[in-house]
Amino acid sequence: MRVAVFSTKPYDRHFLEAANAAAGHELLFLDARLSKESAALAEGFGAICAFVNDDLSAPVLKELARRGVGLVALRSAGFNNVDLPAARDLGLAVARVPAYSPHAVAEHTVALMLALNRKVHRAYNRVREGNFALEGLLGFALHGKTVGIVGTGKIGEVLAGILSGFGCRLLGHDVAPNPACEALGVAYVSREELLAQSDIVSLHCPLTPETHHMISADTLPQLKRGMMLINTSRGAVIDTRAVIRGLKDGIVGSLGLDVYEEEADLFFEDLSDKVIRDDVFARLLTFPNVLITGHQAFFTQEALENIAGTTIANISTFATSGQALHEVSVEKIAGRS
Ligand code: NAD
């Protein structure tokens, strides 16, 4: 099958080529992010392969369908950037990689928690400058602290396992409680209760209309004063402007982000010689108690191998049967909830 691969980075190419060696699809690697304008590059391709910040809104899907594309193969688990009703109406199949390494994301989440708590990001710079003073680096023991996990699916479950090893008290909130998490000692509570009791809140739910701006000006007063907020799910699960106010007021004691609402214009590119035009993001960078990584929680050898393998399997099954292995559709999502 001929596949146009959008938003290609050298690592995508490396892992996709290896996974495709036996399947033999014709892959065209494009640097361009998918948009209404760049959709024309998919002319004559049966499938396109896209990542988290590619635009898969209705106008773009319409362009793709008009140019003969039949399959949108996502290299991600999340599919919040796809207009699924529009895809269905246009007869476009959408496939994703439902699980590639929940360990990668859960482990990165813990890295953010530990680095923020023990101020590793500040200590790193201090020691390099010959400053060995400890003032400002005081942390707390994770042991005995209450961690609230919002969204206890695959990643939330792995995180619960790691944190139970630290001796944390675990609270969970999910629309569908996970028995494996209960077995790990997670106590399910309402979202309000979780926010009120947790020393650390970690977000692992998908971005949906229900979870959009879950942490907002309305929910900030429910948080325990000085708490740590970690978001490795999707940027828009938190209202960044409101959280900045929470940081200034001391309600949010520290913030760890791997995702950002407006990340599409920033992340995955080297902008080190450019001016950052996003003032909200620039403000976040000024706080000593904010640690941001650029959507790298998934970025492990194991995860990239699995993403490439499943993506090629999705394309191969679609090519032979007209049905991708891991299709996502409005009907499937409705059936799950
Ligand atoms: P999953 O589907 O296994 O788990 C998500 C959980 O969230 C489910 O248990 C679901 O019931 C729950 N949920 C749905 N709506 C909810 C709501 N309104 N309130 C509370 N819980 C709700 O998904 P996963 O593999 O654990 O991934 C979770 C999210 O992590 C993905 O949707 C994606 O956005 C994000 N992610 C980020 C990265 C990264 O690199 N930063 C990588 C992979 C996934």
Q: Residues 71, 94: one domain?
A: yes
- Strand stretches in 130-264, DSSP E: 146-150, 169-173, 187-188, 200-203, 227-231, 252-257
Which of 31, 25, 34, 96 minimizes the C-alpha distance to 63? Answer: 34
Q: Residues 74, 120: one domain?
A: no
- pTM of the full structure: 0.93
- Asked if residue 268 lies in contact with residue 296, where contact means CB atoms within 8 angstroms, the answer is no
pLDDT surpassing 70 at residue 337: no
* Percentage with pLDDT > 70 across the chain: 99
Q: Residues 157, 306: one domain?
A: no
Ligand 1 environment, Cβ below 6 A: 77-78, 99, 102, 105, 150-156, 173-176, 204-208, 210-211, 232-234, 258-259, 295, 297-298
In DSSP terms, 228 is beta-bridged to 200, 254
Residues 286-314 have pLDDT tens digits of 999 999 999 999 999 999 999 999 999 99
In DSSP terms, 172 is beta-bridged to 149, 188
Q: Residues 115, 167: one domain?
A: yes
Whether residue 234 lies in the annotated active site = yes
Q: Residues 116, 211: one domain?
A: yes
- Overall domain count for the chain: 2
Residues 141-196 have pLDDT tens digits of 999 999 999 999 999 999 999 999 999 999 999 999 999 999 999 999 999 999 99
Averaged pLDDT, 117-146: 98
Residues 34-61 have pLDDT tens digits of 999 999 999 999 999 999 999 999 999 9
Q: Residues 145, 216: one domain?
A: yes
Q: Residues 76, 122: one domain?
A: no
Q: Residues 140, 235: one domain?
A: yes
The CATH number that applies at residue 278 is 3.40.50.720
| 3-state SS record for 210-225 | CCCCCECCCCHHHCCC
- Residue to mutate (ligand 1; options 109, 159, 233, 268; most atoms within 8 A of CB): 233
For residue 221, the enclosing domain spans 102-292
Q: Residues 167, 288: one domain?
A: yes
Whose Cα sits closest to atom 9 in ligand 1? 153
Triad 217, 240, 228: Cα angle to 5°: 80
Torsion of CA 266, 269, 61, 212, to 10 degrees: -30
Q: Residues 217, 306: one domain?
A: no
Active-site residue identified among 157, 234, 261, 326: 234
Q: Residues 25, 79: one domain?
A: yes
